[in-house]
């Protein structure tokens, strides 16, 4: 009698999953690495791995709709004559004109101003639309120095020196030819239609000792009025924070690996840098070790989505957060209403990330006039303001539950972790235990 | 003719005074004594004045200068005239790294040598160096002109965009996408004009210079050029 093995279910590989296989085929047929926008797509430990404890027998909550819970924040109190006084601790991150349309930049300015917070320029300079519509505008000082000039520098409310971004610590910028329109080319002083790669290192300083001199130059240029921020991608947050304080920063912007980008190699986005969750405590520790916590303010970013993320980041010691991707979604990025057009681009709402190609159906990451016109800056700005309001209310709700009359009174003791990784990274106990893995050693 | 003695006046007071000058100021000739290598001297000036600096300066002297003529009677530290917009900076001695970095306009004249990264990311400035320049000069140079009487270090004009480079002496090596180009009449005219502005008209023979520029092969990514990066 012959024995037949019953057929097994066809089994695909966990290691060689569908995405991996498609990427190998894509590389084999094109000969170029994948470039895309957005942030890390795979799961990394994040704020969802933490919960807040709320009040109990030993803590007293605040009444939801009656008792005040402050949300304001002052940025740049260390040296600047004119610190930024924001109504909410949620700022709009730097996103370049070039990667984004002028309408999108204007909408960000409008939304931020309605909410009483700041927005930020990006690689590519300051547009009049953005300056005009932004009550508080932070001007980025990047290695490329595209469009850099003393007039705009003096028009800014703060200056942000970009050392790195969470999506690509150690990487420069890139804007592909399709998006170098006449206006973008003119602002960057480059030929139209070329692929433009911004440098990854600043042209006129190297190392933290030089940076200190550079910061002083910018202060002299602007008569010590403006707060100077330093933005770093999260990789060695303890030492980077120490060096940033030593170099004379007023504010440190710490961007975790989930942070969005306009266009970067996929391999960079997914494999360089550390999750924001793991970066905040070392940075705060450095500030505390230097006696500078709350004197040099810490803004954190990278995957912030809602008021819970805000409350948890603040409880870990940050003074404020910044949002990029979420702000674009609020404006209308990846909206299902463009489903057919996303399908025509071979993708689907929620997954569209070829922002570098400039074909964005939502009119945000494009320089094509017909697409750009789809985004009405007034309506989109209103949407962003609504979203910022909701995030703030959510954060306040959690803070009141923890008995805090200001978001800045949230503390690590209000948090516990749901996973071992998160407990170790956030340096808070695993829920229901006193155990902080790695503490004390 | 105001004189500011940096041994007695703070850098802050000096720069604040210069920033308050209006374009139609009558005080058009300034002298700064005892600079003693201080950083950020006369940064961000925006008035048609002349500033004589009586000695050596530190980093970023004349940074983001607009309109002013700044004469440095000594040597300059890193980033002299960084991101300058217009006007003139004249260094009588040598200049350290990143001279004229990202400069968008105006003229930077260096009587001596300039170190590495001279004219890095230049965006419209004209730079004349009467001595030698160091490595990686005019890296990613976008616009403007760099003239060198002496030698150039390694990787000249790496990843160059549209800046024009003229060098009289030997070039240690050219960076990615930088090539020697034919010197045509229009380039001779351009060079003569630059030499005139640097006070060297008729003193230097333009035919001794060679011209370098972008091969424009890296303007749009092509996998077959990956080895060049
Ligand atoms: C479209 C886009 C353009 C960006 N451009 C810049 C830039 O020019 N300079 C910069 O420092 N960061 C840039 N970033 C990064 C953001 O400033 C910020 O670090 C990041 O978006 C935060 O993470 P999130 O997107 O998860 O909120 C960009 C991000 C996006 C999404």
Q: Is residue B47 part of a domain?
A: yes
B228: confidence class by pLDDT, cuts 50, 70, 90: low
Q: Is the pLDDT of residue A282 over 60?
A: yes
Q: Is residue A147 part of a domain?
A: yes
Give the three-class secondary structure for B222.
coil
User: Could you report the per-residue pLDDT of A70-117, keeping only the tens digit for each?
Assistant: 999 999 999 999 999 999 999 999 999 999 999 999 999 999 999 999
Query: What residues make up the domain containing A154?
Result: 47-332+375-426
B102/A145 Cβ within 8 A: yes
User: Could you report the per-residue pLDDT of A16-40, keeping only the tens digit for each?
Assistant: 999 999 999 999 998 888 999 999 9
CA gap A70, A417 in Å, rounded: 26
Q: Ligand 1 centroid vs A96 CA: distance in angstroms?
A: 8
User: Could you report the per-residue pLDDT of A238-275, keeping only the tens digit for each?
Assistant: 999 999 999 999 999 999 999 999 999 999 999 999 99
- Computed over every residue of chain A, the mean pLDDT equals 95
Q: Is residue A5 part of a domain?
A: no
Q: Is residue B32 part of a domain?
A: yes
CA gap A308, A305 in Å, rounded: 8
Q: Dihedral sign, CA of A257, A141, A245, A301?
A: negative
What are the structure tokens assigned to A441, written together?
């050693």
Q: Please tell me the total count of domains within chain B.
A: 1
User: Could you report the per-residue pLDDT of B157-179, keeping only the tens digit for each?
Assistant: 999 999 999 999 999 999 999 99
Is residue B175 within 8 A of residue B137, CB to CB? The reply is: no
Is residue B49 within 8 A of residue B66, CB to CB? The reply is: no
CA gap A142, A230 in Å, rounded: 11
Which residues in chain B have Cβ-Cβ distances shorter than 8 Å to A221?
40, 43-44, 63-64
Q: Is A153 on the interface with B (CB under 8 A)?
A: yes
Which residues in chain B have Cβ-Cβ distances shorter than 8 Å to A220?
11-12, 15, 40, 43-44
Q: Is the pLDDT of residue A192 over 90?
A: no
Q: Is residue A89 part of a domain?
A: yes
Q: Ligand 1 centroid vs A3 CA: distance in angstroms?
A: 62
Query: What residues make up the domain containing B117?
Result: 3-217
Which residues in chain A have Cβ-Cβ distances shorter than 8 Å to B123?
145, 189
What are the structure tokens assigned to A232, written together?
């770093």
Q: In which residue are the tokens 């004189």 written?
A: B3
Q: Is residue B210 part of a domain?
A: yes
Which residues in chain B have Cβ-Cβ distances shorter than 8 Å to A190?
142, 161-162
Q: Is residue B157 part of a domain?
A: yes
Of ligand 1's atoms, which has the minimum distance to the CA of residue A304?
27
Closest CA in chain A for residue B46: A150
Is residue A128 within 8 A of residue A169, CB to CB? The reply is: no
What CATH number is associated with residue B153? 2.160.20.60
Q: Is residue A15 part of a domain?
A: no
Q: Is residue B31 part of a domain?
A: yes
Q: Is A216 on the interface with B (CB under 8 A)?
A: yes
Q: Is the pLDDT of residue A237 over 80?
A: yes
User: Could you report the per-residue pLDDT of A291-347, keeping only the tens digit for each?
Assistant: 999 999 999 999 999 999 999 999 999 999 999 999 999 999 999 999 999 999 999
Q: Is residue B41 part of a domain?
A: yes
Q: Is the pLDDT of residue B224 over 90?
A: no
Question: Distance from A247 to chain B by nearest Cα, in Å?
Answer: 15
B162/A191 Cβ within 8 A: yes
Q: Is B137 on the interface with A (CB under 8 A)?
A: no
B39/A191 Cβ within 8 A: no
Q: What is the mean pLDDT of residues A392-404?
A: 97
What are the structure tokens assigned to B35, written together?
């600079």
Which residues in chain B have Cβ-Cβ distances shorter than 8 Å to A209?
none
- Computed over every residue of chain B, the mean pLDDT equals 96
A222/B44 Cβ within 8 A: yes
Q: Is A79 on the interface with B (CB under 8 A)?
A: no
* Complex ipTM: 0.96
Q: Is residue A368 part of a domain?
A: no
| Mutation to probe ligand 1, out of A100, A130, A165 (largest number of atoms < 8 A from CB) | A165
Q: Ligand 1 centroid vs A431 CA: distance in angstroms?
A: 33
Q: Give Rg (Cα) of chain B.
A: 18
> What's the pTM value of the predicted model, to 2 decimals?
0.96
Q: Is A195 on the interface with B (CB under 8 A)?
A: yes
**Which residues have a Cβ under 8 Å from the Cβ of B189 and sit 6 or more positions away?**
none
Q: Given this model, what pLDDT does residue A190 score? A: 87
Give the three-class secondary structure for B74.
coil
Q: Please tell me the total count of domains within chain A.
A: 1
Q: Is the pLDDT of residue A220 over 90?
A: yes
A149/B85 Cβ within 8 A: yes
Q: Is B191 on the interface with A (CB under 8 A)?
A: no
C-beta of A425 in contact with ligand 1 (< 6 A)? no
Q: Is the pLDDT of residue A118 over 60?
A: yes
Q: Is B140 on the interface with A (CB under 8 A)?
A: yes
Q: Ligand 1 centroid vs A301 CA: distance in angstroms?
A: 9
What CATH number is associated with residue A379? 3.20.20.70
Q: Which residue has the higher pLDDT, A8 or B59?
A: B59
User: How much of chain B exceeds pLDDT 70, in percent?
Assistant: 97
């Amino acid at each position: 009698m012959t024995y037949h093995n019953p057929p097994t279910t066809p089994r695909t590989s966990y290691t060689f999953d569908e995405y991996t296989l498609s990427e190998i085929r894509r590389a084999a047929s094109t000969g170029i690495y994948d470039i895309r926008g957005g942030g890390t797509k795979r799961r990394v430990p994040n704020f969802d791995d933490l919960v807040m404890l709320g009040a109990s027998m030993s803590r007293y909550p605040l009444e939801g709709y009656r008792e005040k819970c402050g949300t304001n924040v002052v940025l740049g109190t260390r040296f600047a004559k004119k610190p930024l006084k924001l109504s909410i601790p949620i700022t709009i991150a730097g996103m370049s004109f070039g990667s984004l349309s002028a309408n999108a930049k204007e909408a960000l300015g409008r939304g931020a101003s309605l909410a009483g917070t700041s927005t930020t320029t990006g690689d590519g300079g300051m547009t009049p639309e953005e300056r005009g519509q932004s009550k508080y505008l932070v001007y980025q000082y990047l290695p490329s120095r595209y469009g850099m000039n003393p007039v705009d520098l003096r028009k800014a409310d703060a200056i942000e020196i970009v050392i790195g971004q969470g999506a690509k610590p150690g990487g420069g910028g890139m804007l592909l030819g399709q998006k170098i329109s006449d206006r973008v080319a003119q602002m960057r002083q480059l030929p139209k239609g070329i692929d433009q790669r911004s440098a990854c290192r600043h042209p006129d300083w190297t190392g933290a000792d030089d940076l200190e001199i550079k910061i002083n130059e910018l202060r002299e240029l602007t008569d010590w009025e403006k707060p100077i921020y330093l933005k770093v991608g999260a990789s060695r947050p303890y030492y980077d924070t120490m060096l940033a304080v030593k170099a004379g920063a007023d504010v440190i912007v710490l961007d975790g690996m989930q942070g969005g980008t306009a266009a970067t190699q996929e391999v960079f986005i997914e494999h360089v840098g550390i999750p924001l969750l793991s970066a905040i405590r070392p940075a705060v520790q450095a500030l505390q070790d230097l006696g500078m916590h709350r004197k040099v303010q810490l803004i954190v970013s990278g995957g912030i989505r809602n008021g819970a993320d805000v409350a948890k980041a603040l409880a870990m010691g940050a003074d404020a957060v910044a949002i990029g991707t979420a702000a674009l979604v609020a404006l209308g990025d990846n909206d299902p209403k463009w489903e057919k057009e996303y399908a025509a681009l071979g993708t689907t709402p929620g997954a569209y990330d070829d922002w570098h190609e400039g074909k964005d159906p939502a009119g945000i990451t494009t320089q094509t006039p017909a697409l750009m016109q789809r985004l009405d800056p007034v309506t989109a700005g209103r949407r962003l303001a609504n979203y910022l309001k909701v995030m703030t209310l959510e954060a306040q709700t959690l803070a009141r539950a923890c008995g805090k009359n200001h978001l800045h009174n949230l503390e690590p003791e209000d948090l516990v972790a749901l996973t071992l990784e998160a407990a170790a990274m956030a340096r808070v106990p695993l829920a229901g235990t006193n155990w902080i893995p790695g503490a004390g050693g | 003719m105001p004189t500011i003695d940096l041994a007695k006046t703070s850098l802050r007071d000096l720069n604040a005074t210069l920033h308050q000058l209006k374009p139609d100021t009558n005080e058009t000739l300034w002298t700064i004594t005892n600079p003693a290598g201080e950083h950020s001297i006369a940064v961000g000036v925006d008035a048609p004045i002349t500033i004589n600096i009586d000695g050596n300066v530190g980093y970023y002297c004349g940074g983001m200068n607009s309109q002013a003529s700044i004469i440095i009677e000594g040597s300059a530290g890193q980033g002299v005239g960084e991101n300058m917009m217009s006007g003139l900076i004249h260094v009588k001695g040598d200049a350290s790294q990143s001279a004229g970095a990202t400069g968008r306009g105006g003229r930077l004249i260096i009587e001596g040598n300039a170190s590495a990264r001279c004219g890095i990311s230049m965006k419209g400035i004209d730079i004349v160096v009467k001595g030698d320049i160091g490595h990686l000069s005019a890296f990613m140079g976008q616009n403007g002109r760099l003239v060198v009487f002496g030698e150039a270090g390694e990787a000249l004009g790496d990843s160059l965009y549209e800046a024009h480079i003229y060098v009289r002496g030997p070039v240690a090596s050219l960076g990615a996408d930088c090539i020697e180009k034919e010197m045509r009449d229009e380039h001779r005219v351009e060079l003569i004009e630059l030499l005139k502005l640097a006070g060297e008209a008729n003193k230097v023979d333009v035919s001794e210079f060679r011209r370098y520029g972008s091969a424009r092969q890296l303007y749009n990514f092509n996998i077959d050029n990956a080895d060049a990066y």
